[in-house]
Structure 1
Amino acid sequence: MKSSLKILVTFLILQIVFGCSSKKENTKEVKQPIKEMTAAKILGNPEYLAISYGGYRAKSREVQPTISELKEDLKLMHAMGIRIIRTYNVQPKLPHASNILEAISQLKKEDENFEMYVMLGAWIDCLNAWTGKVPNHEIESDQNEGEIARAVALANKYPDIVKVIAVGNEAMIKWATSYFVRPNVILKWVNHLQGLKKEGKLSKDLWITCSDDFASWGGGDPSYKVKELEDIIRAVDYVSMHTYAYHNSHYNPEFWKVPNHEKGLSDKEKIDQAMLRALNFAKTQYKDVSDYVKSIDSTKAIHIGETGWATVSSGHYGANGSRATDEYKQGLYYKHLRDWTNKEGISCFYFEAFDEQWKDAHNAKGSENHFGLFTLKGEAKYPIWDLVDKGIFKDLKRNGNSIIKTFKGDKEALMKDVLVPNTEYHR
């Protein structure tokens, strides 16, 4: 009896000792390494939000952002849930993209939980683009070969970061009169990059695309629907299309004007309805591209390489124009686009993260300077006021400034700048 009691007591003690030890082991935090991500896993994944990023803060691109400044911006975007950013060129005199890649690499070494990927743009031009001479759209620029080579080199140097190479930006759309090229040029370089993948000179998981206006992808004018475009659709890993209801509020304003049956609504209701029409405008352009692309290659995914809404305009979109421009409308558009694209599994490289003043350097109120979700000083515009409230930018800064809301967070003050769409507007 005593012996049995002794055994029982011993057993209970062992259970307690090993149980506690096991509990300590189970509660010990085990850090999971970031899994290897590919474009196939990132694109269309709502947990990997996308955005277009230019970190330029000065009135000229000759003043390059420092690595430290780029890291500031990357931390802000990471806090927002952004996990893939889009860049536009790798020109030798503009080391912006290569510096971004280096900044991301450093942040990853400093913090094992930092995760950011890049859709790397290679700029494509026609002969005589940006020279003062007459552009020759039938012949490509000599610079294209070097641009593609630099993109390849960066993709191989940072394979853990560069997940997409985009051949050209709005390079096939004919309204880009300064530089557009014929589709055969884009096809040539897409095929070249796909060939490097087959030869093992680029990662097989790297995706190749070109990023262009919806019309260039067969979503509009039938003149774009040529054999070379069909070949491009088959050759790319996915289609990256642009859609801008904002610009079309001037160029094609019928969707934007307040219809007769809404004229009895309050001003705010008219604006809210206009922004739903802007969403539907984007959806329609996406569907038009999708219908055409799927008729060529039913397997091809379509993502949005650019769409956005400016918050200041002294021109076509301001008080004397379509009146599309302000932070309230930007906030609605941003929310509508994120809700729609996240639900549908569409990556949306929203344009853009930060205001950049070099784009219209001689006109401070030019709309191209004001597409950012942040101001140059780092103030959060209305679309992301809620993120400030959540405290996600705590301890983060831009240009030495803590992140605060525009208008000091006063929505009534913000709404004073908000105008009803100009129904009588004629461009």
Structure 2
Amino acid sequence: MFPRGFLPAGAGNAICYSGYREGQDPRTGVFPDYEQIKQDLLILQGNWSLLRLYDCSQHAHTVLEVIATEELDFKVMLGADLGAEVSNPNCPWGAEYSDAVLQQNRDNNNKNINDMIALANSYPNLVIAVSIGNEASVDWTDHLVPVEQLVAYAKRVKSAVEQPVTFCENYVPWQEKLQPLTPHLDFISVHTYPVWEYQSIDNALNYTKENLLSVRDTNPGVPIVITEAGWTTMSNGRGMEPHNASESLQARYVPELLDWCKEEGITCFVFEAFDEPWKGSEDPAEPEKHWGLYRVDRTPKPVVAALQK
């Protein structure tokens, strides 16, 4: 039904990884250390072999160092962390920036793209793909980057690395807005979250299939990878009903999703490995904090046992 992704079927299970514990936050430069990341990767090894990283900060450097030094069986998809290059009045939580801030973001984005190129070239045997950004074109984003600039970043990265190049985004922009970008990518990376769109668990997998079909139909012949899909285990009611966010629902959706992706030969990065307390609001029930298959104390949620059946 779908064109195969950039990896051969059966190459391994894929998961998004950020190792931030209590008191750690990439925004303040407090990163997990070597031993903490080693602990995480030892938990993940065996069940997962492909990791998606979101930036090329100290976190990414340490992850690659641990994999190389400890000779762990992981490959990595690197990403560049892009800030807003234009204001976005459509962002519900506010994304109006001064010209000075936007210019500083452009400078930082150029640096981040250069850092990704350098890191990909430093670990050619571990880095299997690179992404020029994450959710930087969808209507609601607070870090909007014009499509023409994404095209420029894609061209620049493709000329500088050997790895396949992609961009990670919600399924909607791939249907029309990102058409100018697609020819400059090696594969399309799609995010699909039924729970954010008020879908019940009974309709969730069909909704994910519809999302992927919508992208395939408007980009025929282009390889498609799912780089984010999952189910949060807690909600404060902002953006999703609390009853629709639970560990039992996660334990149903994720195995169903991965079984279907395996049948279709689609690489799917589950979002995500561990809960991240730094994310979202200060509310402890903030859904952004609770997407992990493991809790922040590294104990497994029921989905882990469900995936091993």
TM superposition score normalised by structure 1: 0.65
Matched with 1:150 is 115
Matched with 1:308 is 230
Q: CA deviation at 1:44?
A: 4.7
Residues 6-17 of structure 1 mapped to structure 2, 5 A cutoff: none
Matched with 2:67 is 104
- Cα distance in 1 for partners of 2:211, 2:18 equals 25
Letter in 2 for 1:99: T
Secondary structure of 1:143's counterpart equals helix
Distance 1:127 1:42, change over 3 A: closer
CA contact (8 A) 2:77 2:130 kept: yes
Matched with 1:362 is 282
Q: Greater relative contact order (Cα 8 A, min sep 6): structure 1 or 2?
A: 2
Which consecutive residues of structure 2, in runs of 5 or more, have no partner in the other structure? 88-92
Structure (1/2) with the larger helix percentage: 1
- Cα distance in 2 for partners of 1:117, 1:146 equals 24
- Cα distance in 1 for partners of 2:260, 2:270 equals 13
Matched with 2:139 is 174
Matched with 2:154 is 190
Secondary structure of 1:231's counterpart equals coil
- Cα distance in 1 for partners of 2:204, 2:94 equals 37
Q: CA deviation at 1:145?
A: 1.0
Q: CA deviation at 1:56?
A: 0.3
Matched with 1:293 is 219
Distance 1:45 1:135, change over 3 A: farther
Matched with 1:210 is 167
Q: CA deviation at 1:282?
A: 0.5
Identical aligned pairs, as a percentage? 30
Matched with 1:408 is none
CA contact (8 A) 1:128 1:141 kept: no
CA RMSD for the aligned pairs? 2.5
Deviations 1:101-157 (A, max 9, x none): 11111121xxxxx31011100012223789996267997722111111100111111
Matched with 1:56 is 20
Number of equivalenced pairs: 296
- Cα distance in 1 for partners of 2:244, 2:191 equals 19
Do residues 117 (structure 1) and 75 (structure 2) align?
yes
- Cα distance in 2 for partners of 1:138, 1:362 equals 26
Letter in 2 for 1:210: F
Matched with 1:231 is 180
Which consecutive residues of structure 1, in runs of 5 or more, have no partner in the other structure? 1-39, 109-113, 197-201, 219-224, 250-255, 257-273, 391-427
CA contact (8 A) 1:242 1:307 kept: yes
TM superposition score normalised by structure 2: 0.88
Distance 1:236 1:144, change over 3 A: same
Matched with 1:85 is 51
- Cα distance in 1 for partners of 2:97, 2:239 equals 30
CA contact (8 A) 1:135 1:179 kept: no
- Cα distance in 2 for partners of 1:369, 1:230 equals 32
Letter in 1 for 2:129: V
Matched with 2:35 is 68
CA contact (8 A) 2:49 2:74 kept: yes
CA contact (8 A) 1:126 1:135 kept: no
CA contact (8 A) 2:95 2:143 kept: no
Letter in 2 for 1:55: G
Matched with 1:271 is none
- Cα distance in 2 for partners of 1:348, 1:335 equals 12
Letter in 2 for 1:184: E
- Cα distance in 2 for partners of 1:41, 1:132 equals 34
